[in-house]
């Protein structure tokens, strides 16, 4: 199971370090530690300290530039993220699309840049409005194909993670219905889970403790947000993984 958390811009640097330390301790002691690959996406300045912790918790970034270097004030390149030791980079989150104007073309360029430098892009997809699982899956399939277009055209290889996050569920009191998640993620795994990319499919969108046991047959893990701000919630999810893998 791939279990990760984006801390967005909620934590100070000090709290990020405390959270990383707490989750590392949980991973080291938990019986499910060998059944999960865990990662965190902190704010850019906290990435080096999170990597320096050097434990089971892998580190990534919440965004990446489409270019490797040049006059792009405020951007951070995949080349530098890889140099620091990042393993993952999030691309195409609904907030990046809505607030910062990331178009499908920009997202595809960022995915290509990440893959070019050996990073694993976490490609965020999801429908804007509530629709049935079949229609939602079609929206997500189109978004994934678009995100991979530049990398495929340039024959840039590498694995990806698909994070299914229905936009209407982001920040909601509870996640999408488990049956809906199974329907969409099952289709995404069938479509992209085999072949050269061998994509893993994880669910985000108000994901938290208690969800995994109801969708485990159709996902490869969870992408956590605010419901993982307390490391105890991460422990609860590890308990679920342990129960599922016994």
Q: How confident is the model at residue 55, as a pLDDT? A: 87
Poorest-pLDDT segment among 74-78, 139-143, 193-197, 230-234: 193-197
- Tell me, what's the pLDDT at 167? 97
User: How does residue 53 score in pLDDT terms, banded at 50, 70 and 90?
Assistant: confident
To the nearest whole number, what is the mean pLDDT of the chain? Answer: 97
Q: Which fold has domain 2-245?
A: TIM Barrel (3.20.20)
pLDDT band of residue 80 (cuts 50, 70, 90) is very high
Query: Is the confidence at residue 194, as pLDDT, over 90?
Result: no
Contact 202, 161 (CB under 8 A): yes
| Per-residue pLDDT at 12 exceeds 90 | yes
Mean of the pLDDT values across residues 44-54? 94
- Confidence label for 54 from pLDDT (cuts 50, 70 and 90): confident
* Mean pLDDT on 158-177: 96
Could you tell me the pTM of the whole model?
A: 0.97
Query: Is 90 exceeded by the pLDDT of residue 122?
Result: yes
HSE on the CB side for 155, CA within 13 Å? 0
Which residues are the active-site residues?
A: 93, 165
- Domain residue extents for the chain: 2-245
């Amino acid at each position: 199971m791939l279990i990760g958390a984006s801390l967005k811009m909620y934590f100070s640097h000090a709290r990020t370090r405390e959270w990383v330390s707490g989750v590392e301790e949980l991973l080291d002691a938990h019986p499910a530690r060998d059944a999960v690959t865990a990662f965190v996406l902190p704010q850019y300045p906290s990435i080096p300290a999170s990597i320096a912790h050097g434990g089971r918790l892998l580190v990534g970034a919440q965004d990446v530039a489409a270019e490797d270097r040049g006059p792009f004030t405020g951007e951070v390149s995949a080349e530098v993220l890889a140099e620091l030791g990042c393993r993952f980079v999030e691309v195409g989150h609904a907030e990046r699309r809505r607030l910062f104007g990331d178009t499908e073309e920009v997202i595809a360029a960022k995915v290509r840049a990440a893959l070019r430098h050996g990073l694993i892009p976490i490609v965020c997809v999801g429908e804007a409005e509530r629709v049935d699982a079949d229609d939602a899956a079609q929206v997500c399939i189109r978004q994934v194909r678009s995100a991979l277009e530049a990398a495929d055209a340039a024959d840039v290889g590498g694995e990806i993670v698909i994070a299914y996050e229905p936009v209407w569920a982001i920040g909601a009191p509870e996640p999408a219905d488990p049956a809906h998640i199974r329907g969409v993620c099952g289709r995404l795994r069938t479509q992209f889970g085999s072949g050269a990319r061998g994509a893993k499919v994880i669910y985000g969108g108000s994901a938290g403790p208690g969800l995994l046991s109801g969708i485990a047959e159709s996902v490869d893990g969870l992408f956590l947000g605010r419901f993982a701000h307390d490391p105890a919630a991460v422990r609860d999810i590890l308990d679920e993984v342990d129960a599922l893998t016994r």
